[in-house]
Structure 1
Amino acid sequence: MSTVLVIGAGGVSSVCVHKMAMNKDIFSDIHLASRTRRKCDAIAASVKECTGVDIATYEIDAEEVPAMVNLIRQVKPSLVVNLALPYQDLPIMDACLEAGVNYLDTANYEPKDEAKFEYSWQWAYHDRFKQAGIMALLGSGFDPGVTSVFTMWLKKHKLKTIRTLDILDCNGGDHGQHFATNFNPEINIREVTAPARHWENGEFVETPAMAKKVEFDFEAVGPKNMYMMYHEELESLAKFNPEMERARFWMTFGDQYITHLTVLQNVGMTSIEPIKYKGVEIIPLQFLAAVLPKPETLGETTKGNTNIGCIATGEALDGSGEKTFYIKNICSHEAAYEETGNQAVSYTTGVPAMIGSAMMVQGIWTGVGVFNMEEMDPDPFMDMLNKHGLPWTVEELPGPVEF
């Protein structure tokens, strides 16, 4: 039984808080804070209606460290769950350090003024968290998060070493909009428009954004075009699996999405460079995000499935030579909405955030310092995925899959 403080009030937060309330034996007291309190109140009202559990709400600017410290000391949580924006990671970690409280997030730090995803800023906190006797767990979403755990489960149970790894993220849902993103538009577009990077022969290789496209037939979705891009778990997976020869991340996008994004990029709407408009300084991408449909509003209209998994090839644990395994989860947008009022992209991140929190508050995953998901025992996390809405399957493929 424990008290948790969740920061952020988007779709992922809504799913996480709903799932926490469904597990009252683990989370006895849930608090929710964001810059806009009415969003917290809306989530709290939905949770109350669905589960009967009361959620306390607060208004907070997560970038104001003294205010965050005061709130943490007021709530007295055993864990702060950061489901805000990636560029707020460091201020929230600073607040947790000052207040002496454990920390969890779902995405690595990214500076506001540069689309640069890497763990170095957060890894630099390791000694300070260790000296404070507290734990930070990074990337407890789906990708990063579940994909990292999938990989380490294969390495624990199927493969002695991993030679090649491909992470495949397919959203086969249709929300009926001309153009919308299924998670925070600002972060989504920054990720997609950044140069692609993949791990090969001991270093990262950079290629132009969206330059490599292949078709793949996804179970419960069908054939989809997927594009190689950079995603932060490649950095941690390479660090904790130094034998890997190659690791890549792929994400599916429909032709309509690509067409809209190309036009928006060509006219400067995806830029993060400030401009002046009628004497007011604005950032085009933030303005675009403000006028696009909010991800948390897409649940009711989104139909179809997500299919996210890992294909790993390496030396078999039983000494039978090289083998290839495909481990994945398929999630229904309709089922996710029925359970939590959110679409599956929010669901597949919010549920792992709840499970990672459960691992920490129950003392199943412990440590002092800053940790990635790859450093933890995958088995209890994998068990909870099956029990809490994200069941997974694993199959042996006839041989390596070449894209």
Structure 2
Amino acid sequence: MNKVLVIGAGGVGSVVIHKMAQLADIFGEVTLASRRKFKCDEIAAEVKKRIGVEIKTAEVDADNSEATAALIRETGATLVVNVALPYQDLTIMDACLATGTHYLDTANYEPRDEAKFEYHWQWAYQQRFEEAGLMALLGSGFDPGVTNVFTAHAKKHLLDRIDTLDILDCNGGDHGQHFATNFNPEINIREVTAEVRHWENGDWVTTPAMSNKQAYDFPVVGERNMYQMYHEELESLSKHLPEIKRARFWMTFGDAYIKHLEVLQNVGMTRIDPVMYEGKEIIPLQFLKAVLPNPGDLGKTTKGKTCIGNIMTGEKDGEEKTVYVYNICDHEECFAEVGSQAVSYTTGVPAMIGAALMLTGKWSGKGVFNMEQMDPDPFMDMLNKHGLPWQVAELDKPLDF
């Protein structure tokens, strides 16, 4: 029987556990661990109520590699699914190496003291995982994750060559709050306020955060303003598909979100360096996280849909072709199924699928891998079967911006 350890009891962790429980024949014995065990117990109770499957729970400090390794040994897990904070990726990878355990995550490592997320820290583990005969699968969420697989699918089935790639992430949902983030506020705001980079003609082009805005008419959702950002899948895709001449990432934000974020930046609340307050050091962004709505609670009020996908222009049979591979996900349907809104759902489901493919041997290897390095077909098939069906549209022309 397979034994799996899931670390992280936020909104994504809850989705992962619910979806694993739906495939108990693959996942066998699952343990959910977090710094706060009571959160794990709450999720386990909800899974028992909804699906009737028992989930084990544990407490762990994922910043402590030795403690994490001890828990891996205690559970007998052969796979660790990391849906904790990206600051903890390396300590969990160290614990996997120490215990001979395969590894999967949904977001790449970034240091706590700098809003800089890059793969080179995790790619540096390649030799150690390879020599240990272990597999580490990086970025098995939606973006990164599904967007990487959409690219691999297009290269395998739709285009002979990909010249340009634009990843468009649209959340058309409304949670009814004045200002809230749909996943961990600290990670979200660090990401949004970071300097923008995109890949063009073999090099990175840098622009100020939120400086490039475009309107796009998304399928089902309608027209939304989207802003160019940097996202980690651009780094791995430009490495593994060097034919791509330009790769960009876009995310939609409403005017109210932008207004609140600008004010918070202007008054220093998005700072990640410590400041003194009443004789103690605090980090403003972490304090802001404490007073903002909990993303895990937004599912109860969020209505609307997400639309996330890739627009890719290249060549097929000697002619230029532009394809759009995308998914539409409904917030209310997600909440009805697993008690979470669509942003958590679209990350948690791909994490479950990546783990299932590793456990069944459909995806295997020795070393550190990004999603686009794997055969896209079994992953795309499972997306259709487990709540994230995808569509392909051929567009009349490339994007005109």
TM-score of the superposed pair, with normalisation by structure 1: 0.99
1:23 aligns with 2:10: no
Shift of 1:246: 0.3
Separation in structure 2 between the aligned mates of residue 326 and residue 252 of structure 1, nearest angstrom: 17
Task: State the match for 1:58 in structure 2.
Answer: 58
Matches within 5 A, 1:50-129: 50-129=50-129
Q: Percent identity?
A: 69
Task: State the match for 1:395 in structure 2.
Answer: 393
Task: State the match for 2:366 in structure 1.
Answer: 368
Q: Deviations over 1:163-200 (max 9, x none)?
A: 00000000000000000000010000000000111000
Matches within 5 A, 1:336-355: 336-355=334-353
Matches within 5 A, 1:159-238: 159-238=159-238
> Residue type matched to 1:153 in 2?
H
Shift of 1:42: 0.6
RMSD: 0.6
SS, match of residue 223 in structure 1: strand
1:325 aligns with 2:312: no
Separation in structure 2 between the aligned mates of residue 28 and residue 310 of structure 1, nearest angstrom: 34
What is the count of residue pairs matched by the alignment?
401
Separation in structure 1 between the aligned mates of residue 71 and residue 241 of structure 2, nearest angstrom: 39
Task: Give unpaired runs (5+ residues) of structure 1.
Answer: none
Shift of 1:56: 0.6
Separation in structure 1 between the aligned mates of residue 281 and residue 233 of structure 2, nearest angstrom: 34
Separation in structure 2 between the aligned mates of residue 249 and residue 26 of structure 1, nearest angstrom: 34
Separation in structure 1 between the aligned mates of residue 223 and residue 397 of structure 2, nearest angstrom: 20
Matches within 5 A, 1:229-248: 229-248=229-248
Shift of 1:290: 1.1
SS, match of residue 115 in structure 1: coil
1:144 aligns with 2:144: yes
Separation in structure 2 between the aligned mates of residue 246 and residue 300 of structure 1, nearest angstrom: 39
SS, match of residue 263 in structure 1: helix
SS, match of residue 177 in structure 2: coil
Separation in structure 2 between the aligned mates of residue 85 and residue 244 of structure 1, nearest angstrom: 30
> Residue type matched to 1:338 in 2?
A
Shift of 1:25: 1.4
TM-score of the superposed pair, with normalisation by structure 2: 0.99
Task: State the match for 1:385 in structure 2.
Answer: 383
SS, match of residue 25 in structure 1: helix
> Residue type matched to 2:43 in 1?
I
Q: Deviations over 1:109-159 (max 9, x none)?
A: 000000001000000000001111111000000000000000110000011
Q: Deviations over 1:85-123 (max 9, x none)?
A: 001000000000001100000000000000001000000
Shift of 1:280: 1.2
> Residue type matched to 2:13 in 1?
S
> Residue type matched to 2:348 in 1?
G
Shift of 1:320: 4.0
Matches within 5 A, 1:268-287: 268-287=268-287
SS, match of residue 57 in structure 2: strand
Larger deviation: 216-225 or 140-149? 216-225
Q: Deviations over 1:223-268 (max 9, x none)?
A: 1000000000000010011011100000000000000000000000
Separation in structure 1 between the aligned mates of residue 19 and residue 372 of structure 2, nearest angstrom: 23
Task: State the match for 1:301 in structure 2.
Answer: 301
SS, match of residue 272 in structure 1: coil
